[in-house]
Structure 1
Amino acid sequence: MRSIVTAAAWIFALLPIGTAQAEGVLNIYNWGEYTSPELIKRFEAKYDVKVTITDFDSNDTALAKARQGGNDYDVVVPSSTFVKIWIDEGLLLETRADQMENFKNMDPRWVNVDFDPGRHYTVPWQWGTTGVLVNTSVYSGDLNTSAIFLDPPVELQGKISVLPEMGDVMALAIYFEGGETCTGDKDILRKVRDRLIAAKPKWLSLDYPSIDRYAAGDYDAGVNWSGASMRVRFANSHFAYGYPKEGYPIWMDNVAVLKTAPHVENAKLFQNFIMDPENAALISAHARYANGIAGSEKFMPAEMRTAPEIVVPAEFLDKGKFTPACPSEINEMYMKIWTEVMK
């Protein structure tokens, strides 16, 4: 879901395919700055394929592009809340990842997921949480609350950046108001709408994570993803990541193959490739999120094994809730609220 967004597209030259001698091309459509160059180099050392990586900045952007058609993308990386939409609309190829050689490495926790039971279409890319990021040299109060952006303390007002991701922000606001995932409770949703509309004037921006802007002091707080927050902390040690005690979303991004993929065999090879623990560790080391592959931890950088953005404090473990795909009628209600907030 989740890194520092850039407009650039990366192109890497690659080398030799093992089992399937398909045309030597693979086109990946992924979140910005979310793909490890080292992973691509390793893939090029194993398969005779040229990989092109094109960035997108949101799930909505990626889905709209796929619906529009006329592209030559092979691999796409949608979030768990969107995968079922892709499947239901017939946009993904059933690659039967569960029958691939490296499937044995997938952490059992991530096999029978609601959005793709048994993993017939997708394999894990990375997973993480959405919480709050705060400059502790500016604010020394409780970090572990969504009040940071929903009822901001005076010290942070006007210096807050909020992700323009409806699912993340709505989930945090719903939990803050005492609601549950995918709630249709009109009283709760009315409170959520009023809360967000009242809070928005106290934010500086609705924007995707920017390490530079946090590090430079443009932002003192924000709604942010865990891995992106770790990268901010590496750039400015005053920043700390908080797990809202009212509840916070857990999400997973997943590698899928488009039904219109021109290079299906290479795309399947890539799905299998990233289920190797050592390769999965490269993905995590780059964007700083956990992955769904068992045994990858021993290949990760040492600082990630105890990082507070990955290792959730015991007292907040039960506050994290995996975000499902909500029914369409619920999404419509959320979209009406979100449209009001974005005005």
Structure 2
Amino acid sequence: MTNGRTRGGRRAFATRARTVALSLATLTALFGTAQAAELNIYNWGEYINPAVLKKFEEETQIKVNLSTYSSNEEMLAKIQGGATGYDIVFPSVHMQDIMAKLDLLEKTDINTYEGFKNIDPTFLRAKSDPKGEYCLPYAFGTVGILYNRTLLGKDVTGWRDLIETVKAKGLKFTLLDDMREVLSVGLILNGHKVNSTDPAELQQAADTIIAMKPDVAAFTYDTRPMVAAGDVAAGHFFVGSMVDVFGNPKDLGYVIPEEGATMYQEDICVLKTAPNKENAVKFMQFYTRPEVAALNIEQQTNGTANVPARQLTPEQIKNSKEINPPPETMQKLQIFEDLGPGVRQLDRVWTKVKTAQ
């Protein structure tokens, strides 16, 4: 910038000064917007419909960058390890409570936003956030049994029915390679709560799973292709596998075991270290809209806490008792809680399960 002693005199300088000032303002606005108009989402793999992200980008001109993780523990380790740049994460309820204890989450006051009225309050499950001041309920589902009815020759009703059937036919099934989910099957079959840390109850659960091992082909997450191909008769898996059932209803089925099951729920949370907090809150507000949640569920085949969204989903999803369990089934579902130091008791028996011959 000059000091005013320019060849064109005062009037010319004033004109140029306004031009320069406008140019600087324009550049600042442009670069400021470009820098701010981003949102960095860190989510489970394949746990959001790309069409939702595209719609958000088109409406807001905010560029979304998506990174993925495969477990709550992986996500937490990365955040605690100093990873920066992420704005939004999608922890399960018990992980949200852990992250709250670690002071990793930003208070968003999303519960004061008008769209929050669409959320069923029974899904405010986090003990650290009973009013929804921090996070927004995202999606929920069950962990049950995906099965090949052609191989089994029937529809199974639960774990005991499955085990009896595969033994009689000389078939195999898979279990998830997940400590809490697998031990929960053993706990439920023995009438215990899935958040138990009682050594005797956990040992009983482990013994139940060990007794299954001759009929277990693998502990794996690759359940869907194995069941669909007929490599195994059934697999312990998430309700998201209903996408396969809808694609091949003649051969495939999914059941929430009659003995009971676990349910999962993930919430949308903003990190305290988020560089784009304002954009993150805009995304949360965007996701309270019924048509947005319905668009996501259409591809995900999970349940939603957004009540009006349920009526906007395709008929096969809306009417699915597997995706939208009736009240009597919901009463049989249990959700994981943060066990604190008690998780060491699970570690001990899980080692016995995995190493038992």
TM-score of the aligned structures, taking structure 1 as reference length? 0.85
Which residue, 229, 232, 242 being the options, matches 1:230? 242
Which residue, 76, 81, 91 being the options, matches 1:63? 76
Per the alignment, do residues 119 and 22 of structure 1 end up closer, same or farther by CA in structure 2, a change over 3 Å counting?
Answer: farther
Q: Please report how far the alpha carbon of residue 181 of structure 1 lies from its aligned counterpart in structure 2 after TM superposition.
A: 3.2
One-letter amino acid of the counterpart of residue 233, structure 1: V
- Asked if the contact 1:116/1:122 (under 8 Å) is kept, the reply is yes
Alignment of structure 1 residues 82-121 onto 2, 5 Å: 82-111=95-124, 113-121=126-134
- The answer for the alignment partner of 1:297 in structure 2 is 310
Flag the structure with higher helix content: 2
Identical residues among aligned pairs (%): 30
> 2:289 & 2:87 partners in 1: Cα distance?
20
Per the alignment, do residues 89 and 240 of structure 1 end up closer, same or farther by CA in structure 2, a change over 3 Å counting?
Answer: same
Alignment of structure 1 residues 258-273 onto 2, 5 Å: 258-273=271-286
- The answer for the alignment partner of 2:339 in structure 1 is 327
Measured against aligned partners, the alpha-carbon deviations of 1:133-170 in whole angstroms (never above 9, x if no partner) come to 22111224662222367777326766422222223222
> 1:23 & 1:231 partners in 2: Cα distance?
37
- Asked if the contact 1:159/1:203 (under 8 Å) is kept, the reply is yes
One-letter amino acid of the counterpart of residue 286, structure 1: Q
Which residue, 204, 209, 212 being the options, matches 2:217? 204
* Other structure's SS at 2:282 match: helix
- The answer for the alignment partner of 2:298 in structure 1 is 285
- The answer for the alignment partner of 1:122 in structure 2 is 135
Q: Please report how far the alpha carbon of residue 272 of structure 1 lies from its aligned counterpart in structure 2 after TM superposition.
A: 1.1
* Other structure's SS at 1:61 match: helix
- The answer for the alignment partner of 1:169 in structure 2 is 182
Per the alignment, do residues 115 and 109 of structure 1 end up closer, same or farther by CA in structure 2, a change over 3 Å counting?
Answer: same
Instruction: Tell me whether 86-95 or 330-339 shows the greater mean CA deviation.
Output: 330-339
> 2:165 & 2:203 partners in 1: Cα distance?
20
- The answer for the alignment partner of 1:340 in structure 2 is 352
Q: Please report how far the alpha carbon of residue 224 of structure 1 lies from its aligned counterpart in structure 2 after TM superposition.
A: 1.0
Per the alignment, do residues 188 and 156 of structure 1 end up closer, same or farther by CA in structure 2, a change over 3 Å counting?
Answer: farther
* Other structure's SS at 1:128 match: strand
> 2:246 & 2:46 partners in 1: Cα distance?
16
> 2:197 & 2:222 partners in 1: Cα distance?
30
Alignment of structure 1 residues 13-32 onto 2, 5 Å: 23-32=36-45
- The answer for the alignment partner of 2:62 in structure 1 is 49
Per the alignment, do residues 235 and 156 of structure 1 end up closer, same or farther by CA in structure 2, a change over 3 Å counting?
Answer: farther
One-letter amino acid of the counterpart of residue 197, structure 1: I
* Other structure's SS at 2:36 match: coil
* Other structure's SS at 1:26 match: strand
> 1:63 & 1:224 partners in 2: Cα distance?
23
The count of corresponding residues between Structure 1 and Structure 2 is: 322
- Asked if the contact 2:147/2:253 (under 8 Å) is kept, the reply is yes
> 1:301 & 1:213 partners in 2: Cα distance?
27
* Other structure's SS at 1:52 match: strand
- Asked if the contact 1:34/1:286 (under 8 Å) is kept, the reply is no
* Other structure's SS at 2:268 match: strand
Per the alignment, do residues 225 and 118 of structure 1 end up closer, same or farther by CA in structure 2, a change over 3 Å counting?
Answer: same
- The answer for the alignment partner of 2:205 in structure 1 is 192
Q: Mind listing any 5+ residue stretches in structure 1 that lack a counterpart?
A: 1-19
> 2:330 & 2:254 partners in 1: Cα distance?
14
Aligned-CA RMSD value: 2.4
Q: Please report how far the alpha carbon of residue 281 of structure 1 lies from its aligned counterpart in structure 2 after TM superposition.
A: 0.6
- Asked if the contact 2:293/2:309 (under 8 Å) is kept, the reply is yes
Q: Mind listing any 5+ residue stretches in structure 2 that lack a counterpart?
A: 1-32
> 2:162 & 2:125 partners in 1: Cα distance?
34
- The answer for the alignment partner of 2:265 in structure 1 is 252
TM-score of the aligned structures, taking structure 2 as reference length? 0.82
- The answer for the alignment partner of 1:12 in structure 2 is none
- Asked if the contact 2:110/2:132 (under 8 Å) is kept, the reply is yes
